[in-house]
Amino acid sequence: MWAYVVRRLWQMIPTMLGVVLLVFILFNLFGGDPAYVLAGKISNPDQIDNIRRQLGVDQPYYIQLGIFLKQIVTGNFGASWSTNEPVSHILATRLGPSMTVLVPLLIIETIVAVGLALAVAYVRGSLTDRAVMIVCTVGLSISILVYIIVFQYVFAYKLGWFPVQGWGDSFWENLVRYASLPILIGLVVSIAPNLRLYRTFVLDEINQDYVRTARAKGVSENRIMWVHVLRNASIPIITHVMAALPGLLIGAFLLERFFSIPGIGREVILAVERSDFPVIKALTVYVAVATMAVNLLADLMYKAVDPRVQLK
């Protein structure tokens, strides 16, 4: 077990190097030149040179890469080029709001989707099953952009059920008052695909021999569904939910933009618009590390839930 964890951690190093290299190539070689934007309305070549020197982008690529590697090892990514805000501070302050929206969203969505999945799988093939699946499919074929525009207009403005936008200082105020409409939109968008997916997981299990055996032994249908099937279907479901976790770090930029949520997603778009490489590179590295860690965790959990799984 521990040997496995150590080996997996060891294997992360080449992947990490690959990520670093790819990010470096994409942004340092092909990304925009920030100097001109930072120079303001009137600039002359002299000032541009000066800015490039101050930012260190006039250095040879291998030195820039070296600096980047050093930053990763020390965990100090410097400061944003346009605002001077330390990257660590950006992460520390923007993560909370993103999580305030996405964590409840993930939890509610999983509970609802799993519950519905069990229900429709139970009546698989029936008219209800098909109707729910069609509604889901229609639901997920509408662009999230349309949902946001229409929901904000109808629920926040016309009906006044929610504030149009905003963000406060207290966690509860944010969660209940400001995050509820974004969460609702998130639910509408993400329940449909997940319900469809979880339904197939449940169906997979329903067809297994153990279900037939249990049924033959006279176990009640409810018990079969909620205990046997759910326990086994939970493995792919957990894997799936875990895979969604690193995405939380990046936030939901559309929701954040439209509802004035000071989260990471908005910061990412801002950083790309400003060619703010320190911020972009740091975020990429952090999320990559998180993704790998979560993947490892998922495999370990998988093992814990199902002892038959061989970790190799």
Q: Which is nearer to another protein, 6 or 107 (CB)?
A: 107
Of 37 and 219, the one with the shorter C-beta distance to another protein is: 37
Q: Select from 5, 67, 134, 311 the one that contacts another protein (CB under 8 A).
A: 134
Least distance (Å) between residue 64 CB and another protein: 16
Q: Tell me which residues in 139-168 interact with another protein (CB under 8 A).
A: 139-146, 149-150, 152-153, 156-157, 160-168
**Residue 210 near residue 151, CB atoms below 8 Å:** no
Among 72, 191, 229, 230, binds another protein (CB under 8 A): 191
- For residues 244, 247, 253, 259, the Cα torsion angle rounded to the nearest 10 degrees is 60
Binding residues among 271-310 for another protein as defined by CB under 8 A: 272-275, 280, 283-284, 287-288, 291-292, 302
Binding of residue 26 to another protein (CB under 8 A): yes
* Stretch 27-66: interaction string toward another protein, x if CB under 8 A: x--xxxxxxxxxxxxxxxx-xx-xx--x------------
Among 58, 64, 69, 129, binds another protein (CB under 8 A): 129
Q: How far is CA 90 from CA 31, 79, 87, 164, 266, in A?
A: 21, 9, 5, 25, 11
- Pick from 3, 84, 307, 312: which binds another protein (CB under 8 A)? 84
Radius of gyration for the alpha carbons in the chain, expressed in angstroms and rounded: 24
Stretch that binds another protein, among 2-10, 64-72, 101-109 (CB under 8 A): 101-109
> Which residue lies nearer to another protein by CB, 73 or 141?
141
Answer whether 148's CB lies under 8 Å from 188's CB.
no
| Closest separation in Å from C-beta 9 to another protein | 14
Q: What mask, x for binding another protein by CB under 8 A, covers residues 204 to 233? A: x-xx-------x-----x------------
Q: Assess contact for 306 and 235: CB atoms under 8 A.
A: yes
Binding mask 233-272 for another protein (x = CB under 8 A): --xx--xxx-xx-xxxxxxxxxx-xxxxxx--xxxxxx-x
CA distances from 55 to 24, 31, 49, 111 (A): 15, 15, 10, 48
Of the candidate spans 1-9, 10-18, 57-65, 67-75, the one that interacts with another protein by CB under 8 A turns out to be 10-18
Half-sphere exposure of 216 (CA within 13 A, CB side): 6
Would you say 6 or 176 has its CB closer to another protein? Answer: 176
